[in-house]
Amino acid sequence: MYTTDKIFGIKYKEYEDVLEINEKGFIKNLINKMKKHKFMTIVIFSTIVFSVINIIFIYQFFSILGNLI
């Protein structure tokens, strides 16, 4: 496979002697990248989860603080 084949997403089928264009969707591309880069996926996912939990805790703290005043 040549570099231009990877850039343009072309695949050569030897048994049919034809060129095939890979038409992967955004979701399929994203899933393949997540499988390839598992550590970064875990880091990004955990950062998002902990940020959401942090926002919820801050909101709860201010709502308790508001009830005390």
Token look-up 């998002």 returns 48
pLDDT at 5: 60
Q: Does 47 lie in the same domain as 25?
A: no
What is the C-alpha to C-alpha distance for residues 56 and 14, in angstroms, rounded to an integer? 56
Q: What is the pLDDT of residues 4-59, one digit of tens each?
A: 666 666 777 777 777 777 767 778 888 888 899 999 999 999 999 999 999 999 99
Single pTM value for the model: 0.58
Give the chain's domain count.
2
What is the C-alpha to C-alpha distance for residues 30 and 46, in angstroms, rounded to an integer? 17
Q: Does 30 lie in the same domain as 7?
A: yes
Q: Does 42 lie in the same domain as 13?
A: no
Q: Does 22 lie in the same domain as 49?
A: no
Range of the domain at 3: 1-34
Confidence check: pLDDT of 61 > 70: yes
pLDDT at 26: 77
pLDDT at 53: 98
11, 5 in Cβ contact below 8 A?
yes
Smallest Cα–Cα separation from 33: which of 47, 21, 44, 48? 44
Q: At 37, list the tokens.
A: 């880069």
Q: Does 44 lie in the same domain as 26?
A: no
More confident position, 2 or 68 = 68
